[in-house]
């Protein structure tokens, strides 16, 4: 059957539309996680908002082992970060980053240790090493454990994850066609209805017997003109970087409008690199994240993290890496950078620091930045 077979009946669509509106608009605000308490089951007492101005913290599985990820995430939640975002990689971007634990395991463990903070991936590729039906089941289970706190970020993948683990790495258009089909499958299964889907790439005849208790926001990553338009059209929200947002915001808005959505009500998560200190403090972090300026230019097509590192060191000066980061020991510089992103329409500023001392960054933001963002 065509993809239209995924659609539940009209009453079910209306019910989910109403629930999604509630999940997108209740409560929230900067630092709301700081005062929240978890229920005995680990879920939030009421859903926070994923569409208002929020401050997130990036838990980089590429750089830290899973035990450290849990400690950093717990500290970030206690410091007042509203969102805990995790990378979802099979390998690190660069070999010298040294780690790559399973993101879903981290989220499951983190939820029991944190309060009301949202948790999710930025991003999961649901098309090659993960089957979209399995992604739907995994995040539905997380949402039942921690209702009102789970989002799913999806993307078209990188060779270092998808090709390395499966041998498959088709052209951009096929990867995005697969992603669009996967998102339809995931949404269909989350509805709790029977899904009979025979598409171009996937066949699913199943239902989730434990669907999520309320809609899970489904965000899509985009890094160029065409992908920004497709993300706006097919996803509930966006994951991107500051430069792409500034350059292609209009395409994202056009995509959302084409699908009959109001982009002003959709979450926009932007990954914002910071260093608490001066340029000498930033050197080590920049070495580990040196691939960044060319990540979605050429390096996403490279399978081997050691080769990505070699190319980054050969072709990307440290000054280029740091040129888009906020590097300062002054809280006002960090506050200003966050406000500028909010003023541009970003709803979630996802703070990412490659510094070895993550507690320094978390404490700095918790004590000197987040309290002044309200």
- Please write the tens of the pLDDT for every residue from 134-145: 999 999 999 999
| HEC secondary structure over 145-179 | HCCCCEEEEECCCCCCCHHHHHCCCCCHHHHHHHH
Token output for 167: 């041998």
pLDDT for the residue numbered 29: 59
What CA–CA distances, in Å, run from 304 to 61, 159, 173, 181, 312?
17, 8, 22, 28, 12
Burial class, 118, CB count within 10 angstroms (exposed 0-12 / middle 13-18 / buried 19+): buried
Residue 4 predicted with pLDDT over 90: no
> What single DSSP character describes residue 236?
S
Give residue 49's pLDDT band: very low, low, confident or very high (50, 70, 90): low
Token output for 281: 């403090």
Of 335, 363, 354, nearest in space to 53 by CA: 335
Q: Which residues, in sequence order, are bridge partners of residue 218?
A: 152
Q: What angle do CA 68, 342, 355 make, to 5 degrees?
A: 25
Beta strand segments in 241-279, E? 268-276
Q: Taking residues 56-74, what's their average pLDDT?
A: 98
Beta strand segments in the chain, E? 54-59, 83-86, 118-124, 150-154, 195-198, 203-206, 218-221, 237-240, 268-276, 326-328, 348-352
Residue 195 predicted with pLDDT over 60: yes
Is residue 15 within 8 A of residue 116, CB to CB? The reply is: no
Give residue 15's pLDDT band: very low, low, confident or very high (50, 70, 90): very low
pLDDT for the residue numbered 20: 42
Token output for 115: 């309060």
Residue 312 predicted with pLDDT over 90: yes
Q: Taking residues 4-13, what's their average pLDDT?
A: 42
pLDDT for the residue numbered 7: 46
Catalytic residue positions, numbered: 89, 158
pLDDT for the residue numbered 61: 98
Is residue 39 within 8 A of residue 45, CB to CB? The reply is: yes
Total structural domains within the chain: 1
pLDDT for the residue numbered 28: 46
Token output for 227: 């992908």
Give me the percent of the chain exceeding a pLDDT of 70: 87
Of 128, 129, 111, 112, nearest in space to 120 by CA: 111
Q: Which phi-psi region, left, alpha or beta, contains residue 218 (left: φ > 0; alpha: ψ -120 to 50)?
A: beta
Residue 120 predicted with pLDDT over 60: yes
pLDDT for the residue numbered 21: 39
Give residue 184's pLDDT band: very low, low, confident or very high (50, 70, 90): very high
pLDDT for the residue numbered 114: 94
Radius of gyration of the chain (CA): 19
pLDDT for the residue numbered 322: 98
Q: Taking residues 105-131, what's their average pLDDT?
A: 97
> What single DSSP character describes residue 368?
I
Question: What average pLDDT does the structure give for the chain?
Answer: 90
Q: What is the CATH number of the domain that holds 156?
A: 3.20.20.30
pLDDT for the residue numbered 341: 99
Q: Which is it for strands 195-198 and 203-206: parallel, antiparallel or unpaired?
A: antiparallel
Which residues are CB-neighbours of 335 under 8 A, at least 6 positions away? 369, 372, 373
Residue 343 predicted with pLDDT over 90: yes
Taking the C-alpha atoms of residue 227 and residue 374, their distance in angstroms, rounded to an integer, is 32
Domain holding 79, by residue range, is 3-372
Give residue 52's pLDDT band: very low, low, confident or very high (50, 70, 90): confident
What CA–CA distances, in Å, run from 253 to 112, 143, 248, 257?
36, 28, 9, 6
Token output for 264: 């002003």
Q: Taking residues 173-181, what's their average pLDDT?
A: 99
Residue 9 predicted with pLDDT over 50: no
Biggest CA-to-CA distance, the chain: 59
Residue 37 predicted with pLDDT over 80: no
- Please write the tens of the pLDDT for every residue from 223-257: 999 999 999 999 999 999 999 999 999 999 999 99
Q: Taking residues 337-354, what's their average pLDDT?
A: 98
């Amino acid at each position: 059957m065509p993809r239209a077979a995924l659609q539940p009946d009209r009453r079910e669509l209306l019910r989910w539309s109403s629930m999604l509106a509630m999940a997108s608009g209740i409560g929230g605000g900067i630092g709301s996680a700081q005062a929240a308490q978890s229920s005995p089951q680990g879920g939030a007492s009421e859903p926070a908002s994923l569409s208002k101005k929020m401050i997130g913290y990036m838990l980089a599985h590429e750089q830290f082992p899973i035990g450290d990820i849990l400690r950093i995430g717990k500290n970030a939640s206690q410091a007042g970060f509203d969102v805990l975002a995790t990378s979802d990689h099979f390998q690190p971007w660069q070999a010298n980053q040294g780690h790559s634990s399973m993101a879903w395991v981290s989220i499951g463990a983190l939820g029991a240790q944190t309060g009301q903070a949202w948790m999710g991936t930025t991003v999961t590729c649901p098309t090659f090493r993960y089957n979209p039906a399995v992604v739907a089941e995994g995040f539905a289970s997380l949402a039942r454990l921690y209702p009102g706190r789970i989002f799913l970020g999806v993307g078209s993948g990188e060779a270092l994850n998808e090709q390395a683990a499966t041998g498959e790495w088709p052209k951009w258009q096929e990867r995005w066609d697969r992603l669009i089909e996967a998102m339809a499958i995931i949404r269909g299964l989350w509805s709790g209805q029977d899904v009979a889907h025979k598409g171009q790439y996937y066949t699913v005849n199943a239902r989730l017997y434990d669907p999520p208790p309320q809609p899970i926001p489904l965000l899509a990553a985009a890094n160029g003109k065409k992908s920004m338009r497709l993300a706006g059209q097919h996803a509930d929200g966006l994951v991107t970087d500051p430069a792409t947002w500034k350059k292609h915001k209009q395409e994202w808005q056009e995509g959302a409008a084409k699908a009959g959505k109001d982009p002003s009500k959709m979450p926009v998560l932007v990954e914002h690199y910071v260093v608490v200190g001066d340029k000498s403090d930033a050197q080590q972090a920049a070495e580990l994240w040196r691939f960044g300026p060319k990540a979605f230019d050429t390096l996403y097509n490279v399978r081997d993290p050691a080769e990505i590192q070699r190319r980054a060191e050969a072709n990307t000066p440290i000054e280029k890496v740091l040129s888009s980061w906020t590097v300062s020991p002054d809280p006002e510089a960090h506050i200003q950078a966050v406000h500028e992103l909010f003023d541009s329409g970003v709803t979630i500023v996802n703070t990412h620091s490659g510094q070895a001392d993550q507690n320094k960054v978390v404490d700095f933001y918790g004590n000197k930045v987040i309290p002044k963002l309200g």
